[in-house]
A = this chain, B = another copy of it.
Amino acid sequence: MLLDVLPRLRAMRLVLASGSPRRIEMLRGAGLDFLEVIPSCFAETLEKAAFASAAAYALATARGKADEVLARLEAAEAAEAASSRAGAEADAAALAPPRSPLVVIACDTVVEAPNGEILEKPRDRADAARMLRMLSGMPHRVHSGVVLLGRGRAVIESFTQTTMVEFAALPESLVLAHSASDEDLDKAGAYAIQGRAASFVARVDGDASSVIGLPLQRVCAALRALALAPAPSLAPAIAPAL
């Protein structure tokens, strides 16, 4: 969705607030080879009961990640500007127009079991096996929350995307072998669709990319709109902070 607007996007500073290899690969694959990667330090410990839905929880976590990375970037920019002002030779830089537009892209994905439980990273192998048994042979939902923030916490884009994923029936010996392999002990719902568990998936209905990494088409559509918008829309005032 970006090939014809890449020259405009290259004039911006695009930052992905995630170290997920698959998210990086998807965005770079869409043409954003200049994407910066600054993984968020946001503690993903929001109180789930405080949210009306699993999707709302994912969106709030994405917002927390974006805020945290943006705050670090803006602090670094402020320090740099102060340092420039301190140097006599850098007076011109202090008077220069605002730097290139900045966009922080954050995403969070949660797995909702058929019984409504939000599945996080399993505590141990037994917990991983329990999660896989819940998902076996049943459709479940994967929710992604995405937030794109500009300077001053301007919300460029904010949305949730829900995709249905249906696992094949998993024989108990397979559940035990997979949970014992420790491969997905660090994954929400004890599976990563791009790993061995890809072969569990009989059907997807919705945005398949958001299950793998992030909702690629919608993120790219938002970046496309940004690239084609008149310059003022990149200013901090385009949208109120959430």
Given known contacts A3-B177, A177-B3, A206-B204, A199 and B171 CB-to-CB distance under 8 angstroms:
no
Q: Give A164's nearest chain B residue, CB to CB.
A: B205
- How far is B194's CA from A144's CA once the two chains are assembled, in angstroms? 20
Do residues A194 and B29 form an inter-chain contact, with CB atoms below 8 A? yes
Stretch at the interface among A12-20, A91-99, A216-224: A216-224
Do residues A202 and B207 form an inter-chain contact, with CB atoms below 8 A? yes
Q: Which residues of B contact A199 (CB under 8 A)?
A: 1-2, 30, 216-217, 220
**Min CB gap A112→B, angstroms:** 19
**Min CB gap A148→B, angstroms:** 15
Q: Which residues of B contact A206 (CB under 8 A)?
A: 203-205
State whether the Cβ of A115 lies closer than 8 Å to any Cβ in chain B.
no
A30: which of B31, B181, B196 is its contact (CB, 8 Å)? Answer: B196
Task: Produce 1/0 per residue, A135-172, CB < 8 A to B.
Answer: 00000000000000000000000000000000010110
Do residues A204 and B207 form an inter-chain contact, with CB atoms below 8 A? yes
Each complex incorporates copies of this chain amounting to: 2
Do residues A201 and B209 form an inter-chain contact, with CB atoms below 8 A? yes
A217: which of B4, B26, B202 is its contact (CB, 8 Å)? Answer: B202
Interface size on A, residues (CB 8 A): 38
Do residues B29 and A195 form an inter-chain contact, with CB atoms below 8 A? yes
**Min CB gap A227→B, angstroms:** 11
**Min CB gap A16→B, angstroms:** 15
Given known contacts A171-B4, A221-B168, A198 and B216 CB-to-CB distance under 8 angstroms:
yes
Q: Which residues of B contact A30 (CB under 8 A)?
A: 196, 198-199
State whether the Cβ of A45 lies closer than 8 Å to any Cβ in chain B.
no
**Min CB gap A166→B, angstroms:** 10
Q: Give A27's nearest chain B residue, CB to CB.
A: B199
State whether the Cβ of A73 lies closer than 8 Å to any Cβ in chain B.
no
- Which residues from 168 to 222 on chain A have a C-beta closer than 8 Å to any C-beta of chain B? 168, 170-171, 173-174, 176-178, 181, 194-196, 198-209, 211, 216-218, 220-221
The 9 nearest A-B residue pairs measured at CB = A4-B177, A208-B208, A199-B220, A3-B177, A204-B208, A30-B199, A4-B173, A1-B199, A205-B205
Contacts from A to B (Cβ < 8 Å): 1-4, 26, 29-31, 168, 170-171, 173-174, 176-178, 181, 194-196, 198-209, 211, 216-218, 220-221
